[in-house]
Amino acid sequence: MAETFASIIVTAQHISGERRLVVHNPTDYPLIGMGAQGAVFRISAEECVKIYQDPREAVFEREALEAAKGIAYFPRLLRSGPNYIVMEYIEGPSLETVLYQGQPLTERMAGQLLGILQEMRRLRFTRIDTRTEHILVSEGERLHVIDHIGAFLTTRQVPYLLLRSLEWVGALLPFLAYVAHHDPELYNEWCLKRKEGVDDIQGVPEIPPAALLPTK
């Protein structure tokens, strides 16, 4: 039996020299997110579907969510097909939006960010990174990380993109201080890799020695 969203088509086109996704949606399902690889539609109160332009990317993200089964930080994978995955729908703004609007990074948030990174390491993801725009904040200040296509494709052992996105919203130092206090071994590893220039990314923020971080 065909899924009711099967008529939605996501393609890639080059417009003014830039690659962009184009969506053909003859259904009533609302578009709730668009990324570099696919588009997300809400299909019920509890479910959303991500439809990919490249079917291989559906496989990559499904593998990551299957590996993370049962971990609350990751959306539950409900079912999948050749070019889509159906996940639980998570209600809430992105962490980027929350912090940009002026809410400080709370200790609860910082603890969950560290927990997400620790789980990625435990799951043996090769890409231990995310961005604040890819983290949703649901009721009770619970964090959920989305967009895992690169989990086993790229290699990054220090969360440079997360650190950079936290820096943009003024939340970098509180997070670094939390990590330095609660997981000093991991923090020292970040400092060493940053000094060695591992994982070359433009605009990577400095990771100061723990002794220079603010204290409560």
- What mean pLDDT do residues 15-35 have? 91
pLDDT at 200: 60
End-to-end CA distance of the chain: give it in Å, rounded: 58
CB distance 143 to 171 below 8 Å: no
37/51 Cα distance (integer angstroms): 9
Q: What is the number of other CB atoms lying within 10 angstroms of the CB of residue 33?
A: 16
* pLDDT confidence tier of residue 199, bands split at 50, 70 and 90: low
| Nearest alpha-carbon partner for 4 in 36, 42, 38 | 42
| Nearest alpha-carbon partner for 86 in 33, 137, 32, 46 | 46
| Nearest alpha-carbon partner for 166 in 117, 105, 94 | 105
Residue 184 has pLDDT above 70, yes or no: yes
* pLDDT confidence tier of residue 5, bands split at 50, 70 and 90: very high
84/127 Cα distance (integer angstroms): 22
- What mean pLDDT do residues 67-92 have? 97
Tell me the sheet residues that pair with 142: 138
11/23 Cα distance (integer angstroms): 7
* pTM of the full structure: 0.93
The encoded tokens of residue 24 equal 């053909």
CATH classification of 9-88 is 3.30.429.10, yes or no?
no
pLDDT at 198: 60
22/204 Cα distance (integer angstroms): 31
H/E element holding 145?
A: strand 142-145
Domain ranges of the chain: 9-88, 95-212
pLDDT at 216: 62
| Nearest alpha-carbon partner for 134 in 206, 190, 50 | 50
SS3 49: strand
